[in-house]
Structure 1
Amino acid sequence: MKSCFHSVGLPSRPLHDAVSLIADAGYEAIELNAETLPWAPAHITPAAGLAERKAVAEACRARGLAIPAVGAHIGMVSEDPVERVTAINFVKGCIDIARDVGSPFVHILSGPLAANIDRDQAWGWFTYAVELTTIHAGERGIGLGIEAIAGHLFHEVDDYHRIRRDLPGVPFKVNFDPSHLEVQKEDPRRVVDELGDLIAHVHLKDGKGLFPQFEFPPLGEGTIDFRSLIDGLRRHGFDGALSIEYEAQVYGYSESEEQILSHGRSFFDRLIA
């Protein structure tokens, strides 16, 4: 398995600085963040021109970093049909970024469900978006995966099974982030055991508490049994990236960039030893 650091964990750094810091810390790969969060701007978006994309790819190659994934997170179940089309186009643009920088995978989420929206109606919007973006990705040789997020329309293990039934023949994948399942008191191991053949990328992020009263603390300070998950992934033949996704600062934890990078890399080394 490959050590990876999600660029969202270095929100104050321009992407080229993040590349250098991640390489200097001994990682083998960088995941590119295209999502705009309250605490973290996107490191790359579909607005980036071809020259910028080539520069990113070259910077990563020069430092020996693979780019296993692009995080194309944007809400896709807005009541506004224009916003839904905009979200689909954003994801398509991120898929094109992945192609241009040499990344094989893009992952998406549903976004939260507004209180006045019928769940089944929103589910239809999301399955439509998944089908369109998966087709767009396949035409470019890119895999597209879904991440289950606490508090979103698509949030639990059974949602993966439902969308498989609803979209037979649509080859979407799983972006496996156990933290969002852990804080819902779902067993993350179910994803490995029941959907292991679909897992294309893995986030290493710890979790504790019960949504909506929860935290994503530094690795090792939550309640996730990562060793069990790694054992299961190995049995399924997973050999992709384990991407450290650091968001603990949002929950009051204070670590320097050096500590974050060093701790993540040492946690990875112990985990796969």
Structure 2
Amino acid sequence: MSPQPPAARHLPAAPRTAAPAPGPGGPPLRFGYGTNGLTDLRLDDALELLADLGYDGLGLTLDHMHLDPLAPDLGARTRRVAHRLARLGLDVTVETGARYVLDPRHKHGPTLLDPDPEARARRVDLLIRAVRVAADLGAHAVHCFSGITPAGTDEDTAWQRLADSLAPVLDAAAGAGVPLAVEPEPGQLLATLADFHRLRRTLGDPEPLGLTLDIGHCQCLEPLPPADCVRAAAPWLRHVQIEDMRRGVHEHLPFGDGEIDFPPVLAALAATGYRGLTVVELPRHSHAGPQQAARSLPFLRAAATAASVSPGTPHTARPLGEPPATPEGSTA
């Protein structure tokens, strides 16, 4: 028997096999689990685990242990994974947050903001490879992030580097028909929803540019509650990550260990009509990845059921899609 989900202050019990309930005004939510939280498992084993547990899909982080984007025969290996996903009935989003896939000595390096043009080009090449992999897998989106502003780099220069670096990636995404979903990440240049809107305007609002919304990050630093962040982000949502978190502390926590009230968040997400995956993001819990995966899905299904029963009062303070009230360009 799988471990029971953590006791939560706001959730009724739900069986592991229960299907996600339709949200108010939207389709049923579809849940996935991030392979960056299953790095101690072979990819085939991770896929089988998630299918057996009843997940709808996964966030596949391209890394040396899971579909290495830099190893030979990437196309053939990708086709093999695509066949495996099809057999198991799993959908996928491609994520690019591997810590040391490009540089074995510098976490997440190089970034799109690196002072060295050749270093930036390596990150651009990785993202273009990810777009091709996503197209071959039939993925919903490719996730990426900006990176931390390098020491000695002024803000305007950093934003220009980011825009220039993403231009060829967006061209590749448009050609492949796969959205690029940029994630606001605490501590990075693009840290908030307001920062995403700054990038969107700088680039001229290109059609392939979308948003990865991490629910924990909303709790961590956005001025709006997470459910309001979902509503504000709705027109640009291409990928969603989810975990628990506390205000002001960027630490991805198992459900029930943080401060987030999940039924209102999932009610808001369902109401947007979002059809992609909502992927559990616990990259520091690979040591207990199978157990966390087994606990997380019942929790989310119970929260979705609670959301469908008591969705709460719809938020009407601001029209959908209007940027949130975060200071322009904030990177809190």
TM-score, with length taken from structure 1? 0.89
1: CA distance between counterparts of 2:82 and 2:272? 30
Once the two structures are TM-superposed, the CA of residue 192 in structure 1 deviates from its matched residue by 1.9
Aligned counterpart in structure 2 of residue 51 of structure 1, from 76, 98, 106: 76
Once the two structures are TM-superposed, the CA of residue 87 in structure 1 deviates from its matched residue by 0.7
Aligned counterpart in structure 2 of residue 106 of structure 1, from 119, 135, 142: 142
Contact 1:205 1:245 in 2 (8 A): yes
Q: Which residue of 2 aligns with 1:78?
A: 114
Give the counterpart letter for 1:203 in structure 2. Q
Aligned counterpart in structure 2 of residue 174 of structure 1, from 211, 221, 245: 211
Q: Which residue of 1 aligns with 2:281?
A: 245
- Structure 2: 5+ residue stretches without partners: 1-28, 98-107, 306-332
RMSD: 2.0
225 and 129 in structure 1: CA distance in 2 versus 1, 3 angstrom threshold: farther
1:256 correspondence with 2:288: yes
Give the counterpart letter for 1:174 in structure 2. L
Q: Which residue of 2 aligns with 1:8?
A: 36
Contact 1:147 1:176 in 2 (8 A): yes
1:202 correspondence with 2:240: yes
90 and 258 in structure 1: CA distance in 2 versus 1, 3 angstrom threshold: closer
Contact 1:46 1:97 in 2 (8 A): no
Q: Which residue of 2 aligns with 1:216?
A: 252
Q: Secondary structure of 1:256's partner?
A: helix
Which of 1 and 2 has higher RCO (CA within 8 Å, sep 6+)? Answer: 2
1:132 correspondence with 2:168: yes
Aligned counterpart in structure 1 of residue 221 of structure 2, from 184, 194, 212: 184
Give the counterpart letter for 1:201 in structure 2. H
1:132-184 alpha-carbon deviations (Å, 9 max, x no partner) = 21121110111111001011111012102212221224120011102223222
2: CA distance between counterparts of 1:160 and 1:3? 24
1:164 correspondence with 2:188: no
1:85-109 alpha-carbon deviations (Å, 9 max, x no partner) = 1111110000001111221310110
Once the two structures are TM-superposed, the CA of residue 223 in structure 1 deviates from its matched residue by 1.4
**Segment drifting more, 160-169 vs 12-21:** 160-169
Q: Which residue of 2 aligns with 1:60?
A: 85
152 and 196 in structure 1: CA distance in 2 versus 1, 3 angstrom threshold: same
Contact 2:241 2:279 in 1 (8 A): yes
Contact 1:106 1:145 in 2 (8 A): yes
Give the counterpart letter for 1:151 in structure 2. G
2: CA distance between counterparts of 1:50 and 1:185? 39
Contact 1:7 1:43 in 2 (8 A): no
Q: Which residue of 1 aligns with 2:327?
A: none
Give the counterpart letter for 1:101 in structure 2. L
Once the two structures are TM-superposed, the CA of residue 258 in structure 1 deviates from its matched residue by 3.3
TM-score, with length taken from structure 2? 0.74
Aligned-pair identity in percent equals: 25
Aligned counterpart in structure 2 of residue 270 of structure 1, from 302, 309, 312: 302
Indicate the structure with greater helix content.
1
Contact 1:185 1:210 in 2 (8 A): no
